[in-house]
Structure 1
Amino acid sequence: MSALAAAQAALAAEHAAVYGYGVVGGRVGEDRRAEAAAALQAHRARRDALRRTVRDLGGTPAAAAAAYGLPFPVADPAGAVRLAAVLEDRVAGVYSDLVRAASGPLRREAAAGLREAAVRAVRWRGGDVTFPGLAERAS
């Protein structure tokens, strides 16, 4: 995978995460609403940075979709917490790909994105995974 393709995939994941955190924020309990808002802001910042990265790599940044399918219905705070963990796992996965495809400063930024997503996933899930970013690739 080229660095451009991996950056586009990371951008698409960040678009989806921004959308998903809109759902999380609307359903999560009051005790975790600030955490959801902080995660939303972090994903917006990463999304905006990836738009610039894609341009710098010679591509046209992919636009966000009007809506995204959720992996399961989110009807209560527990579902919102579960969705947040899934979103972070998915974001970690694409940053893992970007780490492999990139070099130099972009690779460092991708590693930081992977680390941030993995830490947020642990906070939401209440536990960690052995290799963040590789969970979906185990099958």
Structure 2
Amino acid sequence: MRRVGHRQPGPGTVMSDALSQALSVEYATIYGYGIVSAHSRSDVNDLVSQSIAQHRARREAVIEMLTSRSITPPVPAAGYQLPEPVNDPDDAVNLAVRMEQDTATAWRVVLEQTPAGSEGDADRAFAVDALSQAAVLAARWRRVLGVWPQTQAFPGGTE
């Protein structure tokens, strides 16, 4: 999704920039799940709820990570433009898959930009967990669609 009314965060390190960008993707994903929820079939309500809860928890954790380093986290955009219209349950599930792919990509960037070292090791572990969770959610949403393969060999990448 594309941010509307986006303001860039202040200067920082490559790592903090990657974390800030991942946080922005989390904001967009949380917004998008509101759309998914409105158009989903009732049999996927639990999956929608679990997905939103994961992203909200991750959002809060990243905000804490940034603020603990005296970095001002970016704020959510004033609005988001969906990549395509969502008019029915299949569109909603396709949006969920796309958001999880975007989330995996953002966390893969964090993983690639994280330096070695004690703080870096904790950041890498967090990024691996976030990437893995996004990949699992994407697979669960693909299963709802009935598409194959349900998993991706290298989540967050183009390989």
**Which TM-score tier does this pair reach, normalised by the shorter chain?**
over 0.9
Change (3 A) 1:61 1:11: same
Alpha-carbon separation, structure 2, partners of 1:58 and 1:11: 16
Q: Provide the residue aligned with 1:18 in structure 2.
A: 30
Structure 1 residue 56: Cα displacement:
2.5
- Give 1:107's match in structure 2, choosing from 121, 124, 129: 124
What does the per-residue CA deviation read over 1:32-77, in whole Å, with 9 as the maximum and x for residues that have no partner? 0110011001100100111111122331100001211111000010
Alpha-carbon separation, structure 2, partners of 1:57 and 1:88: 27
Question: SS at the partner of 1:124?
Answer: helix
Which ranges of structure 1 fall in alignment gaps of 5 or more residues?
Answer: none
Amino acid at match of 2:130: G
Alpha-carbon separation, structure 1, partners of 2:38 and 2:132: 26
Structure 1 residue 124: Cα displacement:
0.5
- Give 1:128's match in structure 2, choosing from 151, 155, 159: 151
Kept in 2, the 8 Å contact 1:99–1:110? The answer is yes
Alignment of 1:33-72 (within 5 A): 33-72=45-84
Structure possessing the higher radius of gyration over alpha carbons: 2
Alpha-carbon separation, structure 2, partners of 1:112 and 1:63: 23
What is the count of residue pairs matched by the alignment?
Answer: 136
Which ranges of structure 2 fall in alignment gaps of 5 or more residues?
Answer: 1-12, 115-119, 144-149
Question: SS at the partner of 1:40?
Answer: helix
TM-score, L = length of structure 2: 0.82
Alpha-carbon separation, structure 2, partners of 1:26 and 1:57: 37
Question: SS at the partner of 2:82?
Answer: coil
Alpha-carbon separation, structure 2, partners of 1:85 and 1:4: 26
TM-score, L = length of structure 1: 0.93
Residue 43 of structure 2 is aligned to residue 31 of structure 1: yes
Kept in 2, the 8 Å contact 1:92–1:114? The answer is yes
Residue 136 of structure 2 is aligned to residue 119 of structure 1: yes
